[in-house]
Structure 1
Amino acid sequence: MSPNPADHPHRDTSDIEPHPTPVEQPTRRQINRWRKHLANERAEGAVYRELARKKTGEERDILLAIAEAEARHEKYWRKRLGEHVGMPRQASLSTRIMAWMARHFGSVFVLAMMQTAETRNDYVKDTDATEQMIADEAIHAEVVRGLAARGRAKMSGDFRAAIFGANDGLVSNLALVLGMVGTGVNAAVVLVTGLTGLLAGALSMAAGEYVSVSSQKELLDANTPAPEATESLPKLDMEENELELVYRARGMSVEDAKAKAQRVFEQMTLTGDLLDGSDSAGVDDVAADATELGGSGLSAAISSFLCFGVGALIPVMPYIFGMEGMAAAVTACVLVGIVLLMTGAIVGVLSGVSPAKRAGRQLLIGYGAAAVTYVLGMAFGVSVG
């Protein structure tokens, strides 16, 4: 007698044909849940195929392999539903959004969102899903995490400076503006103070980014082997193998350092040249670190200046357009709150966490800082008065 997959909910049934007439008819709740799984698997497979279409090489192969796994899951739910499969249902809203983004935007954001979706793994609590499907989804989350990490690594320091520069401008200048509002000064004073805070903060951020990025690059340059080291290699005593000490100093074990130095000497003996330019003194590791840093000190400074300036401009916009009093302060808070939610959501997506949670956190931090300065401004205003 052929086994029925419905009687073994945690058994691997990806390649097993479900019995055409199950002993027990699925309940209406099961049918609805299975149809939802079917729609989501179909949509997620389409997302991965769309992402693969924009990739080449290994990343494309990986994405297509995940899409194939989603197709197996889709087939499983289709068979479980049988005659109850019905008309195709819409996938969840989040999956539809990811599909739309995959067609129109870069893959970094979509992969980060897919990482969050795969991590949730709705099958863990569903007794109708097989153990293999649960394991597949868990592994998919790690695969997508790896692909998303590649994308994040390729993003330059300029983008990082832009996001955090804008956030700093929003929060610091809103706090400054509300602090002045709390003292009870007129709108003209608030405007001048806000514009002064914008310029001072933007210059400070730009200087900080330039020093930070430039200093880090200088530290990496200091670790880069001198050209004289490469030129001296052919003159070394191969029996003493001084080159081994270079590799050991850079963190290699005694065995690995000895083996690598031996390969370099053997290559020089055979061809009169090195294996490659990086084998001379482990410069390959240093070069990799420099590549990951991304961006120059000047470009990071300019990006930080502009983004801080744009962020810091938003709290003073109501005063620029002539608003006064509490209406101007409330308008500034609303405008800043909207942008904080947007930037927080972007950071959340890229970090692979809930965009709503990160956006809410950004909003609370920004409003919290502004509330503190407003209360302090009121206190100073009363004491001065």
Structure 2
Amino acid sequence: MAVERTLHTPEAEQLLELTREIVDKEIAPRAAEDEENSVFPRDVFTTLGRAGLLGLPYPGEYGGGDQPYEVYLQVVEELARGWLAVGLGVSVHSLSCYPLATFGGDEQKGRHLPDMLGGELLGAYCLSETSSGSDAAAMTTRAERTDDGGYRVNGAKAWITHGGHADYYTLFARTGAPDSGARGIGCLHVPAGTPGLSTAAPERKMGMRSSTTAGVILEDVELGSEALIGEPDRGFGIALAALDSGRLGIAACAVGLAQAALDAAVAYSRERRQFGSLIGDFQGLGFMLADMDTQVAASRELYLSAARLRDAGRPFGKQAAMAKLMATDTAMKVTTDAVQVFGGYGYTRDFPVERYMREAKVLQIVEGTNQVQRMVISRHLAKEA
């Protein structure tokens, strides 16, 4: 179903049209089979990069698209509508680019960003650990200074999207004292082929099987001083800034998935007959579809509103948390209702809505659970008071 959008420029409209064309012709047709067989779509990310869709919110001088975040997020939504693994993968890749693009030095940007934004390199974001998910400041992975001014890294990261497939890892590790908390964390750029870096077996997940999630293990990984992004011991602030933007990416993914479920439910309601009538003509089901449409539209406007604040250089952390919270709860509700619309068929793999429902659940967990989003919002309310 075509969604009415207000875009800034003809170029932005062309980007959305290009995205829809790629989604409808190349991405959506293979999604179900590749998900069934846990196929990682590395070639899709290369295609998106070469089409100019991987670096949209980043500077043109390094190969980015110079587009507002509002436009980038609508591209992510369209990708997630066709295949959530791809939409979320683009969001995670953009998240992995953010520290270097925003806090890196000119030499670092010139060396790495063109390939990162052009699709030749795919990134992963390494913050979580088995004992420090939501409490990221409690991480134990250590990056100790070496005699030559570099770093030796030991530890393990958990729940890493693209783990084992990424070409580089944006890694957060403790550079300060063990008890230094949030003030002793550094951000490091780690190429995938660095000796001592390995990945664990992929997690066996309920959904999103094409999006590989795996632990990353670091054993005496030697890095030069040029691997550090930003200032020493100031990486936690970089992580939080990246997550504010990343939460909007997850919100856009959630809206795209919910839109796909809504589209499938509406189409089925205009085909399926019971008691001599189309099921969409029954008031009970029609009202359910109306609620689904309203929730999807409201979630879209909330993430776009937060994106406009970001583009204007205004604080948007609270609004990003609100958008992530509402959009992902909406995705869970709408995909569940879509299964109900299909009835028994919705519970089978012959139709996509059962996959949508399984995929929606993870969106309430990644990049800060929705309980954490409520904490973020309530803390902002306390400060405002």
Higher strand share: 2
Q: TM range, normalised to the smaller chain?
A: under 0.3
Asked which structure has the greater CA Rg, the reply is 1
Query: What TM-score, normalized to structure 1?
Result: 0.28
TM-score (norm 2): 0.28
With CA pairs under 8 Å and 6+ residues apart, which has the higher RCO, 1 or 2? 1
**Higher percent of residues as helix:** 1
